[in-house]
Structures are given as C-alpha cells and as structure tokens.
Chains A and B, each alone.
Chain A
Amino acid sequence: MMVSTVARRAGAAQPIADGGGAPTPSAAGAAKIELTGVTKRFVSPTGTLHTAIRDVDLVVEPGQFCAIVGPTGCGKSTTLSLVSGLSRPSAGSVRVGGQEVDGIATGMSFMFQSDALLPWKTVLGNVAMGPRFQGMNKKEAESAAREWLRRVGLTGFEDHHPHQLSGGMRKRTSLAAALINGPSILLMDEPFGALDVQTKAIMSNELLGLWEQTRPSVIFITHDLEEAVALADKVVVMTVGPGTVKAVFDIDLPRPRGAVQEIRFDPRFLELHHQIWDSLREEVQRAYERTAKAPSSEEGRS
C-alpha cells in the first residue's frame, strides 16, 4: 500500500520540480518574522524560575526557510510558541509581518512531531478542518481538502481514519492540513522526528516540493543537522539552555535542491555541514554533560 502511493507521488512530484522551478510565485503571501531580544521565563508552581530562552535575535525573511538546530532543552519549541502567539515573551519583541504578536496570529500553521490529527475524524475531515475554522462551508472545505489530498498523494484515502494509515501517510495528511489554509508562516517542530530514515527522506522531498509551490516563511526545528542543511536557506544554531542564538549560517545550495538523499554528497553540502557541526558540537557536549551530572533534572521544556 505504502509503496504504491510513494510511486504515484514520485510521479506527481516530477512536474513540480521541473516546471515549478526557480521563479517562485512571489513571497507576497509570506510574512517576515523578527525576534528582538526575546527572553522567556517559566515559573513553576513551586515558584522556581526557569529561563527557557534569553536574548534571542532572529530574523526570517518572507519566504525564507529557516532551520533551528540545537541540543535538547535549548528552547527551540518555546521560540515557536512565541512566534505563533500561543505564549508571550517575558521580555523583548516578537513581530510577524511587521506587527507585534499579541494573541494567536492568523495565517500560520503548525506541524508537530506527534501528528496533531483528530483520531475520530477521517483524513478528509482532518484536512478540511482548517478552512472550516476559517468559516468556509462544508462542501467547499471538503473539495479544497480533496485537492490537497491529491497533491500529497492520498487520493483514495479520504474516508480512512488516521489510525488506519502508516506514519508517512499520517505526515502527508498533517502536511496537507497545515498547508490548506495557505499560511504565510509554517512552523514545524521536529515534524519528521518520529519517522524512519527512508520515510523521512521522502517526506523532506515532499515538503520541499510543496514549499516551493506556495513559499511560506518556514521555521523548522530539528535535531538532525543533515536535514537542516538539506532543506533550509538558513540554519540557526542555538546554545544549550537558556537558549540563545549562537551562530547563523546561510545555506547557499542552489534551489530547487532535488532529492535530499543526493544533495548530501554535494561537496558544498559537506563543507557547510562540517562548519555548522563544529559550532553545534560544543553545545551538544555541554548539554550532555549537564544531563549526565543531574540525571533527574527537568527536561520536558525543550
């Protein structure tokens, strides 16, 4: 079942990669994301203070694909929730499209490691949810959802429930659900972290293909440096918590990049990978030493 859809999808992806090419359909829909001097602290119920991120400065240009890498517990997810407006910074400013974020901003979509699909809704119902929340009537929302399911190669699975799908197919559904509202910003929190290596590579290609069509600004959080370099225009390395931006690397690999599995052998890719890893290694080691020292310290807030 999986194999056949992959094959179908690969066939469908071809024209996108060839024709969709360099002239991007403008970044007019995409929004600029600016974080200036952002600090976020959490107070636990017992009153202890925990600083998740400190003085983070980050700019994502409209339509830019920005990957954030960093050790566990460096506040990557906190950064995302600040951009989405799900939480507010303790200090500093978060601006999206030139406007201060206060409350949940419109025109954003999220994708998590665990797929945020409603298990009681069908695949079609899940994807149609975004437009429905925006007030579209059921019929239109469903036809839009069908179109997106076709694009991610899930035609024929509309009436399935998420538990009947493979991990990769659930991710495609999530991707369709995230992109159907035509978001100006796509926030991804280790979206492919739970997938096996092959499926992950396939999904990365899918994501690039779809992103090149619609070009939202993307913040993509990952542990996987190779994934970050293969996908992004810009890789941000964060320090061990309280997280702050350690270094920013521009990835000047040409687009469209093609298959992520192959770009890994590109000498420029290896060079960039090497540079970034030099910067990241220290942080990873420090994070590891810290957890090794305090085995039962809090780890949940990454």
Chain B
Amino acid sequence: MSTLTISGRTPDVASSDEAAIAARARKRARQRKLAIWSARAFLAILIIGGWQLLTNAKIIDKFFWGQPSGIVTQLRDWINHGTQYGSIWLQIWITMKEALLGFVVGVIAGVVVGVTLGQNRFLADVVQPYIKIMNAIPRIVLGALFTVALGLGTTSKVLLAAVLVFFVVFFNAYQGVREVDQNLINNARVLGASKMQVTRNVVVPSALTWIIASLHVAFGFAIIGAIVGEFLGAQKGLGLVIATSQNNFNPDGVFAAMLIIAIVALTAEGIIGWLERRLLAWRPPSTVEIGGM
C-alpha cells in the first residue's frame, strides 16, 4: 500500500520535471537554429559585400571578376529585355529540356544495362574491361564529336548529357544489384517466383536505394552535359549565353548565368529529394533524414 502511494506521487514530480527539461531542450534547439541562420546570413553578407567593396575600391578588377551589383543589373536586363538569342526564359527552358531529356535517357539506359549486367555474371565479365576504359575516357570531350556529327541542335546536347548520366547511374545500379541479399532472392525463388518476378519484386527495389542515391549526382552531370554541349556550339541555351558573355569580356554575364543554373539545379535537387523520400518511405526514418539532407 505504501509503495502504491509513493509510486502515485513520484510521477507528478517527475512529469513536471520532465516538462521543464523538455521545454529547456526545445528552447536550446530554437536558439541553436537561430544562431546557425544568423551565422549563415552573416557569411553571405561578408562574401558578397566584401566582393562588392573590394571591386569598388579597385583592389579586385571588376573587368575580370565581375561585381555583385553588375550581376544583378545583368539579370534585370535579361529579364526585362531578353538576351540576344531571345528571352532568358527561353534559354533556361532550352537548357533544361536538354538536361532533362539527357537525364531521362541516361537514367533509363543506366538502370537497364546495370540491372542486366548485375544479374548476368558472364556478360559482366566480358564487358568489364571496356566499361573501365570508357569510364577512364574524359567523356566531356565526346561533346566536340557530337556537335560536329549531330549539329547545333538539341540532339548533340541530349546525347552528351545522357552519356555523362549513364555511367553514374550504371555503376550504382550494377553495384546495387550485386549487393542484393542472396537469401532474399533464394527465398523468392523457392516461393515460386519466376526470373522476371525476382527482378521486379526483389532485385530492382533492393537496388533502388543505390540508384536513387546516384540520381543526385546524375542530375548535376546532366546539366553540365547540356551546358558544355551548348558551350561547344549551339543556337540557343544558357551555355551559349555564357560563351557569348565570355567572348564579350562580360564576367557579370557569366556569373549571372551561373546563378540561374544554380537555382535551377537546386530546385531539381529538391524534387529528387522529394522523390527519394516518397520511393524509399519504407526505410527507417533516420536514414531518410540523412538522405534528405
């Protein structure tokens, strides 16, 4: 009986204690977040402001290195009057279209080839040295070839982006398939799964973690492929805008285009992150959070 009263009283004390502790912990977490964001803002002001001041004071030559205010002016000019190849939105759209098409083609090819080779030991052993060689080649140089062979249109850029994307996705898909737990496959086979069913139900979902991880990097490569392709020869697109700015000794134009690409890439990154959380929702929460960062 006496133990009962004691155990009846203690939770009260404990719970108020716990509430206080929790409140303090929350407060600390809020303060920490605030501190981080202030420091981030300070860092941005320091770098951009420093750049502006140093170029104003002629310590850094803005003819070579541009100037933040010049970049803003350039962006405003593009938005209001367009570039010499048409509106800025058209340039963004063209580059995005090339990058996206290249991304899709590269991912599909990478997943198909990766999963096929991952499941076929013989074929994998046969083509392994060639893949190594192709991976060692600086593939970006292929862009020069594609531009000559396929012209200044969209195709050459899409192909370059696709080639860059392919290898990243391929290696991850291949590795992902090789890492599939043999027990899971054996179990499915004993339960009566056909080869296709094993691939669809066990191998691909299992490799999906690897494949999706590669998409983050792959999209960056798709944009690089599109930009470099345009840089090498195009009639429209952000790469061409950058090339023209370079030829006109206009560093502000280069930086402004870079800024636009960065914004686009970050948006795409966000979309891929969202996709990752949707597709890999089955994973324990901690992993998803880390993946989401």
Best-buried of A81, A106, A130 by chain B (most CB within 10 Å): A130
Q: Is the interface of A mostly helix, strand, loop or mixed?
A: loop
Contacts of A181 in B (CB 8 A): 191-192
Number of interface residues of B (CB under 8 A): 22
Contacts of A163 in B (CB 8 A): 282-284
Cβ contact within 8 Å between A86 and B205: no
Q: Which of B176-200 contact A (CB under 8 A)?
A: 181, 183-184, 186-194, 197
Give Cα distance in the complex from A110 to B192, angstroms.
11
Category for how many chain A residues contact B: 20 to 34
Contacts of B213 in A (CB 8 A): none
Chain A residue with Cβ nearest B208: A120
Cβ contact within 8 Å between A84 and B282: no
Question: Closest CB of chain A to B275's CB: distance in Å?
Answer: 15
Cβ contact within 8 Å between B191 and A129: yes
Contacts of A119 in B (CB 8 A): 282-283
Indicate which residue in A112, A121, A134, A161 contacts B187 across the interface (CB closer than 8 Å): A112
With an 8 A cutoff between CB atoms, is A279 at the interface?
no
Cβ contact within 8 Å between A116 and B192: no
Give Cα distance in the complex from A231 to B201, angstroms.
34
With an 8 A cutoff between CB atoms, is A265 at the interface?
no
Q: Annotate A174-185 by CB proximity to B: 1 below 8 A, 0 otherwise.
A: 000100010000
Apart from A86-B186, A109-B190, A120-B208, what are 14 other A-B pairs with CB-CB below 8 Å? A104-B189, A104-B190, A106-B192, A110-B190, A110-B191, A112-B183, A112-B187, A114-B183, A118-B184, A119-B282, A133-B197, A161-B282, A177-B191, A181-B191
Can you list 18 pairs linking A and B with CB atoms under 8 Å apart? Answer: A81-B186, A84-B190, A86-B189, A104-B189, A106-B192, A112-B187, A116-B183, A116-B184, A116-B186, A118-B184, A120-B208, A120-B280, A121-B282, A129-B188, A129-B191, A133-B188, A161-B282, A181-B191
Chain A positions within 8 Å of B, measured between CB atoms, are: 81, 84, 86, 104, 106, 108-110, 112, 114, 116, 118-121, 129-130, 133-134, 161, 163, 177, 181, 187
Chain B positions within 8 Å of A, measured between CB atoms, are: 181, 183-184, 186-194, 197, 201-202, 205-206, 208, 280, 282-284
